[in-house]
Amino acid sequence: MSPDLPRTVRAVGTAQLLSLAQEAAAHGFSQRLPADWLREHLAPEATHYLIPTLVQRLTHRVEMPVQWRCRQLLTVSAGEQIWGLLDILPATFDTIPETLDAASKKDIISRLGFAVTVHAWSERNGKGPGAG
């Protein structure tokens, strides 16, 4: 049985987000951005946010561990916030400290609703994952 999906928001720095993206790549998770793309486009000193959205079970690939699919609110180098998805192991998510109060979490969820997707931002700026 997998852990229940938490109703929370967790804050991570750029270095920690890169580590999470590398872990997702090592596991072959489908929802992740390439670490090189993140390194190139994220603001190095920014705080980014992870919001668990659903439990991902790949019943057709029983060797894959259960994942939590998180929406991520990212801050790019120009300061704009964009959103994407990241699959993360529940145990890994649980290691991220709970540092935000309820008002901050509500504000982040609100900002997420106004942010453009990584795909839309990438197309608009010619900076898509895999683009040169």
Whether 3 is in a domain gets the answer no
Range of the domain at 16: 10-125
pLDDT at 91: 92
Please give the C-alpha separations between residue 23 and each of 6, 48, 66, 84, in angstroms, as whole numbers. Answer: 20, 17, 14, 16
Task: Supply the Cα-derived Rg of the chain in whole angstroms.
Answer: 14
pTM: 0.89
89-122 pLDDT per residue, tens: 999 999 999 999 999 999 999 999 999 999 999 9
Residue 74 has a pLDDT of: 98
Number of domains forming the structure of the chain: 1
Q: State yes or no: pLDDT of 85 exceeds 70.
A: yes
Is residue 116 assigned to a domain? Answer: yes
Rounded to 10 degrees, the C-alpha dihedral 108/109/114/116 comes to 90
Answer whether residue 29 shows pLDDT above 60.
yes
**Residue 77, in any domain of the structure:** yes
Residue 132 belongs to a domain: no
